[in-house]
């Protein structure tokens, strides 16, 4: 009897070990995403310089992410040799950690544009407040010929209000009666994440846990969910007072960034990155059914910001039409689980932005000296 019990235990351990190895190889579950960042007293958080980690998401996303020595997801800044320099700021739609290095739209642009270096200064979770601070820190170091800033139309509005921290607290702006911004630094009073139990290192445990969570989520009614899609605020027509406040803050920060470019004789281009819900018709119809009492306009944030930009002589390009057209004709533009651009989506974005840059004919400052 005792021998049989030991045999059963040993067999179980062997089976679990085989399952662990198979899942690690075929369906890896542990993502190094959160471990790639550290707290920063000015910006809230930054990529850890020279940090390397494995990025894993459902849908076949599995590759190694390497942060450069300057703390950004890009090849070494020192290795770039193009005479025309483009500085790209933004959040995870610029860092694009779900695709390989050569597939990120900034690298595709660098390959498309003659004698041009494209610097990717995107950091996951950032809003325009943090991007403005990165601009002020890195502009003197890079001396770019063009500043490009990506606005993600899903959560950048609320990020700028500072109401929702990410892995760490974020800085915010407060404008006085003269419309002069005052920077409120991120709070240093936050709880460090506790060390996870040892079994969280098991891919098998994560796989089983996720499977049960997926089963449970399918039994939860939609009206019981505590999550409200951001598009119910940003695409709501007519706007509520809360929505107007979000747009007002966004427009004030856009003016500040545009003015910084003017003061340094450097053009600024704002690019509007739509959400997956705006691009994919099926998701948009699901959103409209979420609350039938709310009237929604798919391109409201795009149209509102484009009109604002035109009124203030600001360069702005909308990525929604190209992504929506390509999504209906080609492979998906977004990873359905991770919700950022696929390699195909990055290619479409690069095509639009490269064409726009060629049309406005940016001159290298080095060539003017």
pLDDT tens-digit readout, 234-272: 999 999 998 999 999 999 999 999 999 999 999 999 999
Residues in the chain: 369
Q: Are 249 and 160 in contact (CB under 8 A)?
A: yes
Distance of alpha carbon 150 from alpha carbon 67, whole angstroms:
20
pLDDT of res. 194: 52
pLDDT of res. 280: 94
pLDDT tens-digit readout, 192-201: 555 555 554 5
pLDDT of res. 220: 39
Tokens at 14, concatenated: 């062997």
Tokens 């969570």 appear where? 213
Distance of alpha carbon 235 from alpha carbon 297, whole angstroms:
5
DSSP string, 273-289: E--HHHH-HHHHHHHHH
State which residues of the chain have pLDDT below 70: 9, 15-17, 19-32, 58-60, 190-227, 363-369
Instruction: Give per-residue burial for 33-47: e unless 16+ CB within 10 Å, then b.
Output: beebbeebeebbbbb
Neighbours of 90 (CB within 10 A): 28
86 contacts: CB under 8 Å, gap ≥ 6 = 109, 113, 116, 117, 118, 119, 144, 145, 146, 147, 148, 357, 362
pLDDT of res. 23: 54
pLDDT of res. 187: 85
Classify residue 96 by its DSSP letter.
-
Tokens at 272, concatenated: 């509007």
pLDDT of res. 195: 54
End-to-end CA distance of the chain: 89
User: How far apart, in Å, are the Cα atoms of 152 and each of 122, 319, 355?
Assistant: 12, 10, 20
pLDDT of res. 189: 77
Rounded to two decimals, the pTM is 0.85
């Amino acid at each position: 009897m005792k021998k049989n019990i030991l045999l059963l235990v040993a067999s179980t351990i062997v089976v679990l070990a085989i399952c662990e190895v198979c899942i690690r190889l075929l369906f890896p579950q542990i993502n190094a995403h959160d471990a790639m960042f550290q707290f920063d007293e000015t910006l809230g958080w930054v990529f850890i310089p020279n940090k390397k980690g494995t990025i894993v998401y459902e849908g076949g996303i599995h590759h190694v992410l390497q942060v450069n020595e300057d703390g950004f997801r890009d090849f070494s800044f020192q290795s770039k040799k193009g005479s025309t320099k483009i500085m790209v700021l933004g959040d995870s739609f610029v860092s694009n950690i779900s695709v390989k290095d050569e597939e990120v739209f900034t690298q595709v642009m660098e390959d498309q544009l003659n004698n041009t270096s494209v610097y990717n200064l995107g950091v996951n979770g950032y809003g325009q407040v943090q991007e403005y601070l990165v601009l002020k820190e890195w502009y003197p170091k890079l001396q770019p010929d063009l500043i490009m800033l990506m606005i993600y139309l899903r959560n950048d509005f609320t990020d700028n209000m500072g109401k929702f921290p990410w892995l760490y607290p974020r800085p915010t702006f407060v404008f006085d009666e003269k419309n002069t911004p005052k920077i409120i630094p991120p709070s240093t009073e936050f709880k460090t994440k506790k060390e996870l139990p040892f079994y969280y290192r098991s891919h098998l445990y994560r796989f089983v846990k996720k499977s049960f969570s997926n089963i449970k989520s399918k039994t939860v009614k939609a009206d019981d969910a505590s999550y409200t899609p951001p598009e119910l605020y940003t695409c709501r027509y007519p706007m509520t007072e809360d929505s107007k406040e979000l747009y007002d803050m966004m427009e004030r920060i856009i003016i500040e960034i545009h003015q910084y470019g003017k003061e340094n004789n450097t053009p600024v281009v704002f690019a509007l990155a739509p959400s997956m819900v705006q691009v994919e018709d099926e998701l948009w119809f699901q959103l409209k059914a979420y609350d039938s009492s709310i009237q929604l306009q798919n391109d409201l944030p795009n149209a509102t910001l484009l009109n604002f930009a035109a009124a203030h002589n600001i360069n702005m390009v909308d990525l929604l039409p190209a992504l929506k057209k390509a999504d209906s004709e080609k492979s998906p533009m977004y990873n359905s689980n991770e919700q950022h651009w696929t390699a195909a989506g990055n290619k479409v974005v690069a095509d639009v932005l490269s064409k726009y840059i060629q049309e406005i004919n940016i001159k290298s400052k080095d060539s003017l000296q």
